[in-house]
Structure 1
């Protein structure tokens, strides 16, 4: 049997002292003249840094460790995961995956609301407490195989539900499409995109308009991805050396991609609290994993390729940043589409932003397919 080792988070006191010293030496910059609208401002970053400097990490660490965590070797990576077992032995299993720039920690509030499920929340290889793949690229197919092995070979589940967002959205679809014998259903907030090669063949006006709109958005907002895909190590060297820089880089995306008013950085805390934002930064900082978290960008794991259609039951909930996503695309890809809706609230990080809403959606779907 594969070895599964218990794991708990403990940051050495020397590391905390070093972090505080760096934060004390923070050199703030004023906003640039005519600064473009973005999810970060000098004022908000200053507030975050000041809070981080005085923040009680030990209390947060203790909260994280109330969630049972483990390590397991899968191929050439050691995967870290939280495993929240239900009191019901026959409860359905649910795999919950994160993307970038978040970590497993941002998914825990959602997992806590599902005591009637066995919930597994892994860290992707190279993120936080999971080691990067030792050899070869980090592809969607490889990630799907690793996550499926975690659920079946390591944890022994013969059937499970799966959920993913951001980088893990395609992994979610791949797991469901490639392992219909083991996947009981797929929950989706980032619905399937046709591959780059397939998109020129789209003719429906709403489908063409959707991807044209995304292309326009990416031209104005996609610099982060281009840098992470082309100069990952240079950027990582700077972020790994400056906690304030790391915090600015991460928090900007949490702001911009959440369901918050444009140009209002502090509004993000109505969806994702300051404690949760700082937890994300702390995990990246103390594990020094920001560089390896860029691997999906420079190795192409964030680019949708052709993949098998999903035949298992699907429950699709369109998050607000993709509110104009055409239903026709979902119906062509998810062949047993049980639910298609557009969320009234919740953006890119849907289960973190509206955990109660999404927990009830998962529970309703499980009842629909006779798992509860």
Structure 2
């Protein structure tokens, strides 16, 4: 394990600004907003990115102790915020796609009474890509080994979003002796076969709604899972294209109206949006970030979670059925629907998430009120 600091070379920044200054923007197609990223908002983000004081942002990121460790043969980048209290509970906070570790830091900073670990998944940002088929099981085994073998935490709490939601479930289900509890805002979906066996009308309605929107809303995943290198070639060469691809999902999946994309910044500031784009651009990791979609293959059946669980459904899945959560999380301590916060819950409502994590840890006897 070695310390790590982000240090983007000057010539990379100069090249980026030059590319951004030559961006050729197109007007919006008819029938906005269904056609994708708003040209006006994208143009505003591009201008801000061109003028971004990256050195100040880089210095802020480097205030967080970062390391790279060899975990199961892969160089894994992570932030490790240690509590001043040695006996504090350990907490694993994972990101998904298209966000990076950086978008989870506001939550991590609100939890000084935890030892918080915020990794970059393999192939994301400053973590090396996995040399093999990167299934959810591989990611779960890697994150478990990071926490236990590399960092020495015998037991810990786990939280994941998007791609890492299933990873978090898998860690809790596969390593119950190591996991003290799991908090889920993206609760268990199950395989298509599992869903077909549901007899709860609310559950069927929820999954029917997802299936109905899966065509246009899931187009990104289909491309990333079938022609990832073709798409990545364009995004790795065009910062404007990269920003549009990432920014569209931040707009679409956050708890803000897609018809007014600038309102995203009420949840995730422009500086944080551009930090995400900058990490992908400078690490050239957009191609390898598609690996979970391309390598996932057949849906994996995840065993039920027996460890204590708290489920707080984010607004993007507001109608998620409680019956599914109760059948999967066998020791469900709480189930609620969050009044605010979308797909990027940790970034959108970090204080609300910190409060929930602290309450859950207190209930489990890991913290004292």
- Taking structure 2 as the reference length, the TM-score comes to 0.98
1:302-344 per-position Cα deviation (integer Å, ceiling 9, x unaligned): x752111111100100001111111010001111101100000
- Whether the aligned pair in 2 keeps the contact of 1:39 and 1:253 (CA below 8 Å) is no
Q: Distance in 1 between matches of 2:29 and 2:103?
A: 31
Give the CA deviation at 1:35: 3.7
What whole-Å deviation, never above 9, does each CA across 1:219-270 have from its counterpart, x for those lacking one? 2211111111111000000000000000000000001000001321101000
CA distance in 2, matches of 1:355, 1:172: 19
Tell me, yes or no, if the aligned pair for 1:163 and 1:172 is still in contact at 8 Å: yes
**Equivalent residue runs for 1:240-251 within 5 Å:** 240-251=236-247
- Are the aligned partners of 1:247 and 1:281 in contact in 2 as well (CA < 8 Å)? yes
CA displacement, residues 203-234 of structure 1 (integer Å, 9 cap, x when unaligned)? 21111111000001112211111111111000
**Take 1:351 and 1:304, find their aligned partners in 2: how far apart are those partners?**
26
Equivalent position of 2:345 in the other structure: 350
- Partner residue, 1:337: 332
Partner of 1:56: 53
Question: In the alignment, which residue of structure 1 is the partner of 2:306?
Answer: 311
Aligned-residue CA RMSD (Å): 1.0
Partner of 1:252: 248
Unpaired segments of 5 or more residues in structure 1? none
Which residue number corresponds to residue 264 of structure 1? 260
User: C-alpha separation between the residues in 1 aligned to 2:181 and 2:93?
Assistant: 13
* Contact 2:29–2:35, Cα closer than 8 Å, also in 1: no
The answer on 1:8 being equivalent to 2:5 is yes
Q: What does 1:294-309 correspond to in 2, within 5 Å?
A: 294-300=290-296, 304-309=299-304
Q: Which of residues 308, 323, 326 in structure 1 aligns to 2:321?
A: 326
Deviation string 1:345-370 (CA, Å, 9 cap, x unpaired) is 00001011000000000000000000
Q: TM-score w.r.t. structure 1 length?
A: 0.97
Structure 2 gap ranges (5+): none
Matched, 1:148 2:144: yes
* Aligned counterparts, 1:157-172, within 5 A: 157-172=153-168
| Cα-to-partner distance string for 1:155-184 (whole Å, 9 max, x where unaligned) | 000110000010000000000011111100
CA contact (8 A) 2:322 2:335 kept: yes
Moved more, 311-320 or 39-48: 39-48
C-alpha deviation, 1:51, in angstroms: 0.5
Give how far 1:300 is off.
1.5
Query: How far apart are the structure 2 equivalents of 1:173 and 1:336?
Result: 13
